[in-house]
Amino acid sequence: MKNRQEPGGGSSGRPRWVRGMTTFGIVTVLGLSLGMAGCDVTNPGPVQDEFLDDETTHTGLVRGAERSLLIGAMRIFFASATVTREVFPGGDTNSHSPRIQAGALPSNEMDEYWDDTQQARFIAEDALRRFNKEGVTASNVNRAQAMLWAGYASKLLGENFCQIVIDGGSAEDRDVALQRAENHFTDAIAAAANAQQLQAAYAGRAQTRIERGDWAGALQDAAQVYTDFVYGIEADPAFVETRNFIAFANLNENYRQYTYHYTYFYDDLGSGFGTGYYTATGDERVTYTTDPDFPVANASLPGFGNVPWSFDPDFGLSDPVILSSGSEMRLYEAEAILLNDPGSYQDAMDLINEVRASYVSDFDEMPLLPLTAASAAEAGTHLKNERLIDGHLKGRRFLDLRRWGGIPGVGNAARDNTPGDYYWPDWGQLTDIFDAEPTATCFPIPDSERDINPNVS
Amino acid sequence: MLAIASSEPCQPGQPPGGRRAHIRSFGLLCGALLSLLVLPAAATAQTGQIAGVVTNAVSGAPISQVQIYIAESSLGTLTRADGRFLLLNVPAGTHDVVAEQIGMGSQTQQVTVADGQTVTVNFQLESQALGLDEIVVTGTAGASRRREIGNTISQINVEDIPNRPTDVNDMLRSSAPGLEIGATGGEFGQAPAIRLRGNSSLAMSNNPIVYIDGVRVRSEPNAFVAGVDNRGIRGSVVQTSPLSGLNPGDIERIEVIKGSAATTLYGTEASAGVIQIFTKSGSRGSPVWTFETQQGAVWSRKFGPSVDDTGPECARTGVCNFEYMRLDPYLKTGYNANYALSVRGGAESLQYFVSGLWSDEEGFMPNEYGDKRSIRGNFTFSPFEDLQIQWNTAYLSQWQQNVSQSNAQGLTHNVYRGMANYFGDDTFETIEAGVLAFDIQMWVDRFTTGGVFTYSPLANLTNRFTIGYDWVQQDARNLRPFGFPSRPRGALLNHHWQNTLLTFDYVGTYSFDVAENIRSSFSWGGQAIGDETAQVEAWGEDFPGAAEPTVNSAGFTLGFEERQKVWTAGFFAQNIFDFSDKYFLTLGARVDGNSAFGEGFGLQVYPKASFSWVTSDEDFWPESLGTLRLRAAYGQSGRAPGAFDAVRTWDAAPFANQPAFVPRNLGNPDLGPEVTTEIEGGFDASWFDGRVEAVVTYFTAKTTDALFQVRQAASEGFGGSQLRNVGELKNSGLELQLSGSPIQQQDWGLDFGVNLSTISSEVLSIGGAPEFELGGNGWVIEGEPAPVIRGRYVTNPDAIADPEVDPDHIYGPNYPTLTVTPSLSLRVPGNITLSAVGEYKGGSYVTVTNTSSGGVSRGAMMPICWPYYENPGVTTALRDDTPALWRARCDATEVNSDFYTFPIDFFRLRTVAASIPVDFLMPERVSNATLTLSLNESYTWTKDFPELDPEMSSNTGGEDTVHSISNRVPMPISFRASLRIQF
């Protein structure tokens, strides 16, 4: 040991660079270790929360609410259409489980329906909170638009869920969400920066008031909306989440998840299903066709087998999801006549035919022919069918069935005693799964919210 | 060559020049390799020869592959199969001749060689009792003798593995107690799950970290090609393993440390354990060349229910039983070949090991092909007496093609469901057009280089500085061509992913005598690991026609990019006190920071302590009781959260050509690592002159501040989940490694071994969070195993009645609670060795999430329900006498995947192998030639697993914390013939 040269002593021929390299290595690693312990690495991609107070991001924030609302609305409209047989399930489980296809809305399968719509409400209301912060400047257009999305998202929750929870609170009557929606629409009416925002706010508030049973207030708002007004969110076909996945499910190339067979619109098959409405009218709102190369949908419906396949060839992935329209306002006005003054049913028919005249037939590109009625009941049946046709895949059928006395067999009482009948054949004739459990009338609060939120028992 | 020819036509989507360019560069590399290695042996004027034989001191049997060299010279060789060796051109004079082999220690004899004469020197090597004086480096600062360390280290010597595996994952399988090579799919190239002592985390990765020669390398499976927008998920579902690319012939040994008591010095990433792979280094002596070729085949095991069908489906399709779940027409025998060449040698100042590998492989399903080329150069040199540099570099180029799997355009989804598939048609022609035309290819390149500088300016002072770089790049190309039935206008996904790991590591060790019989070895150091991942994806759809497309030629295109970087750094100190070379006390700690910790968290300290007592070195210990060492260890290590987990962030989601901000992560500024504290204790013992050895360890590990993905109530708006340090988990278990050699004779030998491990886990606390599911029916519930399988359960299974269902039945743990691996090896005259290794796993449950349950719910006639169908092949209506359990499984209105939860109790014969020395068939210059024949993963027994296979996995395989099974295929049976020649 004693004879050994000290480091760098030269007996081993070790030059200075060796010492230098070793020292450098030690210093480097220790330095890196000490330096990195607690270091701050900035990664690209996600946007930090505080950045969203900046006005340059406000449009993006409002569009975030719009995007989530689009997704939430598509989910709810599609599932409720399946449950209410606006469309007939093809057996594929990609979008809906067998239970939902059968007509149930199980609470353990409701997460996505609840989450996206709650998120839309949250983003819009969070935007409004930011816009109201001291020192933050927000444009009128963004402010009013955030109010509109907050209104429509709250309305979607209130119209469809059996109960509602806001911001981690307790489970409350769904009217709480509808009240919030009405307030947001009222604010939007005051803040609207253009005619479209104003019409959208009136239309949304009218829908909300109908659901709350305030017919008088609803009719006042409806009167402000032009018949040809349509308000919706354009789907973005570029992305899986934001493409119109109701259309995707009906494409004649992928999953073929639902069909028009057995629905009101389809030709009578000789078995008591379908009315031949489309064959008779060519109504562009409920177009369908068949493909001899693909006679059946992709999957097999339990207890039924392969389901005959029909689809809407014009339904595209970028098609908008419609939230409100002037035609719906006219139908509300017609229904109000039938409810309050059945003897004036011809006035109601005029309004129904005004709506129909604004659409054309696929067969001759001419406006749809007017309907006639000889009684209030007949007019009411036309109205109820027209609500089904005009509200097709717009999330209206669920509400209407509840208002008119519910789905046969479920047994809820009618709130609006609108005369006339609506289409609801005995679906259980087709497969036992339709009778396996009661058909749902609203979406339950999902189990996940109940599990996570201590305020919800 | 058959396999080579068959793989060539299957690369229609390959970029121009892709594979040829690989081959060309490989050829150049091989040329360079060969030119490097022409190192002529020194010729001297006055020389002699040294000859001899190396035998086992106990049995007298010859030992092959023993390294023989003359100290402080460049002369060396390896013993042949008959134990003989010959050193040529030995300079006249007196020399120290060394014989050494891993596990047998080394012996030195002095000989004097005269000019022109041959001196004979024989060695008799003894296996080292428990390897107490073996040097190990994993988990300890610097290098230590095994006797000094208070925790277990499993060491896998590659030469001891009987069946010459072609994949490192297969080397690890069944190799050590507590080491589980878990669920995997049988798809070509699929990465398995690797677990050491179960799951230590329920939110983060449970993959152990991996080092190769001191350089941190990627251990997680390579990227899953799912794409940011889920556009690629309709692909192969195969996730490649970064370990599979290693050339097994390059590996000398593997060290495995399993728990936090052992991994403390690795800090924040190490709670799931550490695997360190040591590749071969050069050796002094003339070049020793090794050529090895393996030829083999793989084929499918039977995995369907044993049901014969004589109905209309049989008549229509010709498939009249369901042993392969209707997959029969699509299965093939896949032929595999690989060729490896290596050379090692060198002089005192420079030693080298250089190797190359080329393999051509096939899977047993259609469209499954692949090839692999790798090259390695390991160089050791000592420019100065007190400085040694070891620089190792490896490059891998790998290509594979897979079949579309487990999705609407996948093979199994469509075949398993018969006529109720996505085409409503089960004919071969329809499946061929709708599935097999989907072209899925993947290229993986990997470059690993690193150097270890060991500078020892004093005999008792060592500085070791390691620098390393590991780069993996994966290119995936999934093409649905123009005219593909479910995407008529075609679609193409290009997914480019790369991961880079940088290692900077310094360890200094200073040893000194504290007092008589007390020696202290103090180590200090620091480590910084940089981990950077980037992925870029291009998507195109709607091609103009049938021409070979690129993304550019698509009518609609999209691009995605993700990048993230995480740095972990820490420093540590450790002291080993050595009392009389019998008692060893180790104390140490590591302090870590990590860029993913929350702003308010700071640094994390991980302490360690261990004690080792070589009891049999005590004077009072009678020699007749053999060798005994008692040991105990305590330590902590951790697991860091992900790069973005601590920060409240939003995503700028694209929407109609503009950004739309949506919530991404709620954020948690106090987020830190989860910390696992482990105590282990046990003993190492050997009896009967080392003929029987046992290593017994009990461990108990508690993870505090466990990271849980705590779901946020959606009504609060931000939604999703947030990592929080809220949980507590506990794992405990017993590990036993027993081996024996009851017969040790010159011509006959019999060895046996048993590895046994138990795992008992429990969730101690979920911190007030609600019980939550991790997927695959795996739940996190206080007081239950982590995770536990919970789900619907039929309480009247055998009753001829409607099922009565308990909606929240606890089935049991998901992770096997007992694993037993018996092995047997018989040596017969001719030095032929016959070996068998099996493995039993049991005590746990797995849910098959989407095979028969998915089929039944869609109205498909599933084979497992055949005995209960009223009219099989015609209708799904069930017979009236169907028991309740089978009504739940086979009735579309009742079915749920929970009812397809089965116990994992199985035994599998991992390998049956014969190793036959064939030197006698070779020219004289060949020193060793061994033929190894092996049949692998052949026989399986299951307790109650009516379809598929208990070792199958879900779509995401190795990444899953919960083992579940989806629509995949099981691992195949394989046969391999391996010929290894040394000259």
pLDDT in tens, B369-423: 999 999 999 999 988 888 999 999 999 999 999 999 877 889 998 999 998 888 8
Given this model, what pLDDT does residue A9 score?
36
The residue-averaged pLDDT of B520-533 equals 93
- The nearest CA of chain B is from the CA of A238 a distance in Å of 8
- Provide the CA B491 distance to its chain's centre, in angstroms: 34
| Cβ-Cβ contacts under 8 Å, B711 against chain A | 448, 451-452
Q: What is the pLDDT of residue B26?
A: 40
**Alpha-carbon separation of residue B53 from A215, A388, B79, B85, B159 (angstroms):** 106, 95, 8, 6, 19
pLDDT over 70 for what percent of chain A?
Answer: 89
Pick the residue of A1, A16, A30 with the most B CBs within 10 A to test the interface with B by mutation.
Answer: A30
Residue of A nearest to B657 (CA): A236
CA torsion A40-A46-A49-A50 (nearest 10°) is 60
Contact B570 A1 (CB under 8 A): no
Q: Which two tokens stand for residue A68?
A: 């989530």
Band of residue B275 on the pLDDT scale cut at 50, 70, 90: very high
From chain B, the residues in CB contact with A34 under 8 A are 526, 569, 571
Say if the Cβ atoms of A167 and B568 lie within 8 Å: no
What confidence score (pLDDT) does residue A7 get? 34
- Tokens 């060198």: give the residue: B346
Q: Do A35 and B569 make contact, defined as CB atoms within 8 angstroms?
A: yes
pLDDT at A251 over 70: yes
CB-closest option in B650, B711, B859 to A301: B859
Tell which wins on pLDDT, A133 or A177: A177
Mean pLDDT, chain B, integer: 87
Q: Report how far residue B697's alpha carbon sits from residue B758's, in angstroms, rounded to the nearest whole number.
A: 11
- % of chain B exceeding 90 in pLDDT: 54
Give the Cα separation of B182 and B192 in Å (integer): 6
- Distance of residue B96 Cα from the nearest chain A Cα, in angstroms: 24
What tens digit of pLDDT does each residue of B57-113 get? 877 888 887 888 887 776 778 787 788 888 888 888 898 898 887 777 778 999 999
Q: Say whether A298 and B711 touch across the interface (CB within 8 A).
A: no
pLDDT of residue A25: 54
A10 touches chain B (CB under 8 A): no
State the pLDDT at residue A302: 79
Name the residue with higher pLDDT: A159 or A299. Answer: A159
Q: Best of A452, A453, A455, A457 to disrupt the B interface by mutation (most B CBs within 10 Å)?
A: A452
pLDDT-derived band at A1, boundaries 50, 70, 90: very low
Question: Does residue B38 surpass a pLDDT of 50?
Answer: no
Residue A292 at interface with chain B, using a CB cutoff of 8 Å: no
Query: Is B5's pLDDT higher than 90?
Result: no
Contact residues on chain B for A32, CB-CB shorter than 8 A: 504, 526, 528, 569
pLDDT in tens, B289-316: 999 999 999 999 999 998 888 888 888 8
Nearest to B487 by CA among B555, B419, B426: B555
B734: distance to nearest CA of chain A, Å?
36
* Residues of A with Cβ-Cβ distance to B230 under 8 angstroms: 240
- B109-155 confidence digits (pLDDT tens): 999 998 888 899 999 887 776 777 777 777 677 777 888 889 988 88
B interface test, pick of A28, A29, A59 with most B CB neighbours within 10 Å: A29
Q: Is it the case that residue B964 has pLDDT exceeding 80?
A: yes
Which of B593, B667, B772 is facing A37, going by the closest CB pair?
Answer: B593
Provide CB contacts within 8 A for B226, sequence distance 6+: B232, B233
Q: Looking at chain A from residue 184 to 223, which residues have their Cβ under 8 Å from any Cβ of chain B? A: none
Annotate A213-241 with three-state secondary structure.
Answer: CCHHHHHHHHCCCCCCCEEEECCCCCCCC
Contact B424 A302 (CB under 8 A): no
Q: Which of B423, B460, B463 sits opposite A22 (nearest CB)?
A: B463
Q: How many CB pairs under 8 A join A and B?
A: 281
Is A252 an interface residue toward B (CB < 8 Å)?
no
Mean pLDDT score, A376-386 = 97
At A39 the pLDDT is: 54
Instruction: Kindly report, residue by residue over B910-935, the tens digit of the pLDDT.
Output: 999 999 999 888 888 888 899 999 99
Question: Chain B residues with CB inside 8 Å of A446's CB?
Answer: 714
User: In this complex, which of B424, B665, B716 lies closest to A306 when CB atoms are compared?
Assistant: B424
Answer for the pair B56, B24: CB distance below 8 angstroms, yes or no.
Answer: no
Pairing of strands B209-212, B274-279: parallel
Please state the ipTM of this predicted complex.
0.89
For residues B453-474, give the mean pLDDT: 93
The Cα-based distances of A101 to A402, A431, B349, B857, B892 in angstroms read 19, 11, 76, 11, 12
B267 neighbors B637 (Cβ within 8 angstroms): yes
Helix (H, G, I), strand (E, B) or coil at A289: strand
From the list B465, B597, B603, the residue facing A25 with the nearest CB is B465
Task: Give me the mean pLDDT over the B733-746 stretch.
Answer: 92
pTM: 0.84
Q: How high is the pLDDT of residue A26?
A: 58
B508 contacts: CB under 8 Å, gap ≥ 6: A26, B461, B462, B463, B464, B523, B524, B525
Q: List the one residue out of A252, A244, A388 whose CA is nearest residue A310.
A: A252
**Cα separations in angstroms, B490 against A253, B168, B548, B832:** 11, 38, 11, 57
Q: What does the pLDDT average to over A159-186?
A: 97
**What pLDDT is recorded for position B958?**
61
C-beta atoms of A22 and B453 within 8 A: yes
Q: Using CB atoms, pick whichever of B567, B714, B857 lies closest to residue A114.
A: B714
User: Of B137, B146, B141, which is closest to residue B629 (Cα–Cα)?
Assistant: B146
Residue A29 has pLDDT above 70, yes or no: no
Q: Average of pLDDT values for A440-456?
A: 91
Residue contact B652–A236, C-beta within 8 A: no
Give me the percent of chain B exceeding a pLDDT of 70: 94
Show the tokens assigned to B581: 């070379």
Query: Which of B61-65, B199-203, B499-503, B673-677 is predicted least confidently?
Result: B61-65
Q: What is the pLDDT of residue B9?
A: 33
pLDDT tens digits, B882-914: 999 999 999 987 889 999 999 999 999 999 999
In whole angstroms, what is the distance from residue A254 CA to residue B487 CA? 7
- Contact criterion met (CB < 8 Å) for A46 and B593: no
User: In chain A, which among 401-440 make CB contacts under 8 A with chain B?
Assistant: 432-433, 436
Among B127, B176, B172, CA closest to B153: B176
Which residue has 């593997």 as its token pair? B254
Are B711 and A452 in contact (CB < 8 Å)? yes
Judged against a pLDDT cut of 60, whether residue B22 lies above it is answered with: no
Q: Among A83-97, B221-235, B352-366, B543-557, name the one with the lowest average pLDDT.
A: B221-235
Contacts of B666 in chain A (CB under 8 A): none
User: Going by C-beta distance under 8 Å and a sequence separation of 6 or more, which residues neighbour residue A93?
Assistant: A101, A299, B854, B857, B858
Q: Which of A41, A57, A432 sits opposite B567 (nearest CB)?
A: A41
